[in-house]
């Protein structure tokens, strides 16, 4: 009865307050007071699950609590506990972090919904980072949702080795379960913000894009989204095995003297700051990531794609021209990339050195770009297309005009300001990205990227009026290239180079292209 009453008054609450510039509405848990940003209604820090601390640490997210009165939803809530970086040092942290934020241009509409999943190597990140401000995207006629999920050891510790066995509940991948809980909340509530729950697009970058790939394969996420965008998603890399995950858990438990029947109780009693300190010291938490738990992630993600055991939805994916900026942060070196070629090194070098000799460092970095990211994007797009769903691939190489003398390529995550716009470029990681001034041409590229992304969210097809045609990846292996000269579709773009990475994946998995 209470929920029915809240639903009935939701529109009235908004109408009553909109004239004062302070939008309000009600969700299933209670009433919300939001704010406005450049004509867009914004509601922040809405709980989508209960706080995952104490006895609920390393448990599946529980239902979000109800509240009485009107909840102030004008400020971001805390991000989940993690080591502080230049990007997050000024943001509050708490285990009470499972909240989301909504930007809506029309609370009375039935608009497409874009749900963002942040990156950060599964160890960092948060929805309060200003680079993820949804205002500019929402102006394109979509609703934007961002949310927090647990990261690091608190989000991705596998407890099966410590005896956690709760019927009907996975014992790992808590961060992914948070993502699924957020999507379920969207299904139940987004219509109250003017959104269409049947037209939800998940999109993310780096670890967020890997999460998108994971959710594409997860039976637990089936039906919660209608489209997916994976930006720099490392699509063919191996998913962490359960054996590796248990080794990390054993090391963590041993470090804190947790064993026997009381091991879980001991670890749940640890202050969150002590767990984060382990990660900051690059100890046992360094390699945390989603693992093949058989429930949330039923198998190696790339192999699930290859077998067609995925959501059959439109898929947009791609990579940047200097993903090698990430190499040292995830344990790759140019030397290791070259060594992996074995007896094929001379042939592959010849492919890359048609325009002149490359140093080992340059050669290794180009291998990384094409093998780890390019092959991943084109490979997953190929698998999706084989299932009859349209897939689209991009390569992002456009450098802001005032920065072309300083950068020779677009670094990992460098496409984000073109997707979200430059409104939030005031935080450490991006603070100098466009400080030389945004030119008219830069603005035109931003506008086109946002049009493509939001068109895809609306219809499953990025194309629209006044945009260069972006064909589906199949049948001509077409990649849409954004560079300093043009935005154009190119058939078989870098396919000989990415084929090297795909061949390595094929040998490892025993599978091949469709």
Residues annotated as catalytic are 206, 323, 412
Which of left, alpha, beta for 201 (phi over 0: left; psi -120 to 50: alpha)?
Answer: beta
For residue 343, give the DSSP letter: G
Q: In whole angstroms, how far apart are CA 163 and each of 159, 260, 393?
A: 7, 9, 43
Residue 225: exposure state from Cβ atoms within 10 A (0-12, 13-18, ≥19): buried
User: What's the rounded Cα separation, in Å, for the pair 253 and 113?
Assistant: 41
Query: Nearest-5° angle of CA 129, CA 134, CA 136?
Result: 125
Dihedral (Cα; 185, 187, 191, 195), 10-degree rounding: 110
Instruction: Choose among 409, 406, 379, 377: nearest CA to 393.
Output: 377
Q: In whole angstroms, how far apart are CA 421 and each of 137, 336, 415?
A: 8, 36, 10
Q: 111-117 and 195-205 as β-strands: parallel, antiparallel, unpaired?
A: parallel
Residue 33: exposure state from Cβ atoms within 10 A (0-12, 13-18, ≥19): middle
DSSP code per residue over 241-258 = PHHHHHHHHHHHHHHTT-
């Amino acid at each position: 009865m209470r929920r029915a009453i809240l639903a009935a008054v939701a529109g009235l609450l908004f109408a009553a307050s909109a004239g004062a510039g302070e939008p309000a509405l009600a969700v299933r848990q209670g009433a919300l007071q939001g704010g406005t940003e450049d004509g867009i209604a914004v509601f922040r820090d809405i709980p989508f699950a209960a706080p995952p601390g104490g006895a609920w640490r390393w448990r599946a997210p529980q239902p979000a609590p109800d509240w009485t009165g009107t909840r102030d939803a004008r400020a971001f809530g805390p991000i989940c506990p993690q080591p502080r970086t230049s990007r997050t040092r000024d943001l509050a942290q708490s285990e009470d972090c499972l909240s989301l934020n909504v930007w809506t241009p029309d609370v009375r509409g039935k608009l497409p919904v874009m749900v963002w999943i942040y990156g950060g190597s599964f160890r960092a990140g948060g929805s309060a980072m200003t680079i993820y401000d949804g205002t500019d995207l929402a102006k394109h006629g979509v609703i934007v949702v961002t949310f927090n999920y647990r990261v690091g050891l608190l989000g991705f510790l596998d407890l099966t080795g410590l005896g956690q066995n709760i019927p009907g509940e996975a014992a790992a991948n808590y961060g992914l379960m948070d993502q699924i809980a957020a999507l379920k909340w969207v299904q139940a509530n987004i219509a109250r913000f003017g959104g269409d729950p049947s037209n939800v697009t998940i999109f993310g970058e780096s670890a967020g894009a890997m999460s998108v790939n994971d959710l594409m394969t997860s039976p637990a996420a089936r039906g919660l989204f209608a489209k997916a965008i994976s930006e720099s998603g490392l699509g063919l890399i191996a998913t962490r095995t359960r054996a590796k995950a248990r080794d990390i858990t054993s090391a963590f438990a041993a470090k804190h003297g947790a064993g026997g029947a009381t091991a879980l109780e001991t670890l749940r009693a640890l202050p969150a700051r002590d767990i984060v300190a382990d990660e900051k010291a690059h100890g046992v938490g360094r390699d945390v990531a989603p693992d093949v738990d058989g429930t949330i992630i039923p198998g190696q993600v790339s192999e699930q794609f290859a077998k067609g055991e995925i959501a059959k939805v439109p898929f947009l994916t791609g990579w940047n021209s200097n993903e090698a900026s990430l190499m040292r942060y995830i344990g790759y070196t140019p030397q290791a990339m070259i060594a992996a070629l074995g007896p094929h090194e001379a042939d592959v070098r010849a492919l890359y050195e048609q325009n002149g000799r490359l140093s080992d460092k340059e050669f290794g970095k180009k291998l990384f770009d094409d093998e780890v990211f390019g092959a991943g994007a084109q490979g997953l797009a190929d698998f999706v297309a084989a299932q009859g769903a349209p897939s689209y691939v991009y390569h992002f190489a456009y450098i802001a005009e005032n920065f072309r003398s300083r950068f020779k390529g677009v670094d990992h995550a460098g496409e984000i300001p073109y997707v979200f716009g430059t409104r939030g470029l005031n935080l450490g990681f991006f603070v100098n990205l466009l400080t030389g001034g945004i030119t008219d041409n830069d603005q035109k590229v931003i506008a086109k990227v946002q049009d493509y992304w939001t068109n895809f969210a609306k219809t499953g097809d990025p194309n629209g009026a006044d945009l260069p045609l972006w064909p589906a990846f199949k049948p001509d292996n077409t990649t849409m290239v954004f560079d300093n000269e043009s935005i154009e579709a190119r058939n078989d773009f870098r396919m000989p180079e990415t084929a090297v990475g795909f061949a390595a994946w094929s040998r490892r998995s025993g599978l091949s292209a469709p």
